[in-house]
Homo-oligomer: A and B are copies of this chain.
Amino acid sequence: EIVAGIEAMMGDGPLQGRHVVVTSGPTHEPIDPVRYIANRSSGAQGTALARALRDLGARVTFVTGPASVPPPGGVEVVQIETARQMLDAVKTALPADAVICAAAVADWRVANASGSKMKKDGSGKAPALDFAENPDILATISQMKKGRPALVVGFAAETDDVVAHATTKRERKHCDWIVANDVRPATGIMGGTENAVTLISETGAEEWPRLPKDEVARGLAARIAAALGAGG
C-alpha cells in the first residue's frame, strides 16, 4: 500500500499533476455529548476510489468522516465528523481538477444540540429535537461561480426509483455526474463489499454490473481520467 502510494506519486499515470478531492464515509451529527445521528456508510467505496485515483497518479485529498475502514496510504487524509466540517475541508482543499462527493452526508443536523447529556424527565416525552438543513456540499461545489473544478461528481444512495431520483438530483445540483446506487437493506450494498452503480451523465444513464467496490473504483477512476482529458 505504501509502496503503491510512493510509486503513484513518482510515476507517470494519466492523472499525474492532477488534484482530486474525494469525500468519503458517513458524517456524525451530535445530539448531545454522547448521542449522534449516523448513517450506515462504511466508507469502503470512497476509500477504494481514492486509492484508484492515487494509482493513476493523482494527488488525492481524502476528506473522511468516521469510517469503519482505514484510509488509503499515499493520500492526504483530512478527518472530519459533521457535514459542515466536511464542506469546510473540501473548500480548504481547493483548487482541484475534480471533486468526488462519495460521502454519505447527513442532510440535517440537530440545531439545538445540547452540551449536557439529555435526560428522561419522567414525563415519557422526548426532548424536542430541532433540525437544520446541512449545507449541500455537492451543490455548493457544483455551483461555484469562480474556480469550479472541471469535474464534480456526486454519489446518490437511493432506496427506490434509482435512475429517476438520480437524474433529477444531477439537474438540481448542477453536478456533472451522479453515481447512483440502490441501498435497500436487501441489496447488502451499504456496508458490504460489492456495489451496483448507475452512472448518470449528460448523455444519460449507464448501468454497471454488480462488482467488487475496488473494481467499481477502478472503472470510475479511469472515466475520471478520460473526462479530464488525461488519457486513461
User: A interface, by DSSP: helix, strand, loop or mixed?
Assistant: loop
A172-214 contacts to B (CB < 8 Å): 183-185, 190
The one of B125, B131, B133, B157 in contact with A34, judged by C-beta atoms closer than 8 angstroms, is B157
For A4, list chain B residues within 8 Å (CB).
Answer: none
Q: Compute how far the CA of A225 lies from the CA of B99 in the bound complex, rounded to whole angstroms.
A: 58
Chain B residues, Cβ within 8 Å of A117: 157-159, 183
3 smallest beta-carbon distances between A and B, as pairs? A126-B131, A108-B126, A117-B159
Contact B38 A185 (CB under 8 A): no
Chain copies in the assembled complex: 2
Residue among B35, B41, B108, B158 making CB contact with A106, cutoff 8 Å: B35
Please tell me if the beta carbons of B120 and A33 are within 8 angstroms of each other in the complex. no
Interface residues on A, range: 35 or more
A129 at the interface (CB under 8 A from B): yes
Q: Provide the residues of chain B in CB contact with A183, threshold 8 Å.
A: 33-34, 117
Query: A196: shortest Cβ distance to chain B, in Å?
Result: 16
Contacts of A104 in B (CB 8 A): 34
Is A40 a contact of B34 with CB atoms below 8 Å? yes
Q: Tell me if A124 and B133 are in contact (CB < 8 A).
A: yes
The docked-state distance in angstroms from the alpha carbon of A230 to that of B106 is 50
User: Are the C-beta atoms of A184 and B108 separated by less than 8 Å?
Assistant: no
Residue pairs across A and B with Cβ atoms less than 8 A apart, 12 shown, are: A33-B159, A33-B185, A34-B104, A34-B190, A35-B37, A37-B37, A107-B118, A107-B119, A107-B126, A116-B159, A126-B131, A126-B132
Shortest A108–chain B CB gap in Å is: 4
Does A31 sit at the interface, judged by CB under 8 A? yes
Closest chain B CB from A158 CB (angstroms): 7
* Chain B neighbourhood of A165, CB < 8 A: 119
